[in-house]
Amino acid sequence: MQLNTALLELGRKDPKLTVIDADIAQSVSSKKFHQAYPERAFNVGIAEQNMFGIAAGLATTGRVVFASTYAVFASMRACEQIRTFISYGELNVKIGASHAGLHTGMDGATHQAIEDVGIMRSVPGITILSPADAVSAKKATLAAAEYPGPVYIRLIRNAIPVIYQEDLPYSIGKAITLQEGSDIGLIATGVMLHRTLQAAELLAKKGIKATVVDAHTIRPLDKETILQVARRTGGLVVAEDHNINGGLGSAVCEVVAEEYPVPVARIGLPDVFGESGAPDLLLDEFGMSVKDLVEAAEKIIRRK
């Protein structure tokens, strides 16, 4: 519902703000904008490729366009349109990519976007945001509207615990450090931030002090913060609800390999497809539990 709230707020401020969806306004939380501003809201039907072509055309007229669909369809079915019509032209289109990761749950492998960050990271010029709760999702949406060029906002389907207060300072490209410690660096994005904070609590009971970072912007990655944590702790664990290949873990490994090599453990989907099931059970089943995070941290500490 925070996306609905953010779009309504943006719609009141900017008469050029336009919203497009592919017949799933209810699912992607853009329905209230359609009701409030029908002259600036378009349902193109189940035609995602056309939707992004239309979004590109509208953006050339000076509009800020939010185009929303499921992450699997945005990143794969319409990849060519996003690449060629939006990113290549540096157009002001914001992509609301819902139902990302295993957290999509019962819809199963066909609807669980586990490759989308890797795909979008390979396309030049696309900013990638991955909020961790409802508050940061609203902040990301508001910030994206003011940020130049194409922005991919990775959103999830199901309710998750709220981590942040409404007065959260949020800036695209600047990671948020939630706690500091010298023994291990825990870097998380999206739904995995809550589990990472739980892991940090368990590690603290064992006398292990962890730095916890919310990498809500995967591109441009906050390299300065990543390297600061690497130097302070000497080892990192990266957690994401995404294939371990191509996502945040890969991005962090690229940074430290080039500038300050330290051991890194990647917690994510181990290069396999997901399956149908309750979201939290799926994360546990595929090696993304709080216990897995704790064990990965202890292993990295032994390697230092």
User: Are 247 and 221 contacting, i.e. CB atoms less than 8 angstroms apart?
Assistant: no
User: Are 160 and 207 contacting, i.e. CB atoms less than 8 angstroms apart?
Assistant: no
At residue 287's C-alpha, the angle toward residues 286 and 290, to 5°, is 130
Q: Is 193 helix (H, G, I), strand (E, B) or coil?
A: helix
Is 275 one of the catalytic residues? Answer: no
- Pull the structure tokens for residue 124: 């030049």
C-alpha–C-alpha distance, residues 121 and 34, integer Å: 30
Length of the chain in residues, anyone? Answer: 304
**Looking at 48, 180, 224, 258, which residue is catalytic?**
48
C-alpha–C-alpha distance, residues 138 and 301, integer Å: 36
Helices (H), the chain: 2-13, 31-36, 48-59, 71-72, 79-81, 116-121, 134-146, 192-205, 223-233, 248-259, 279-285, 290-303
Give the residue numbers marked as catalytic.
Answer: 48
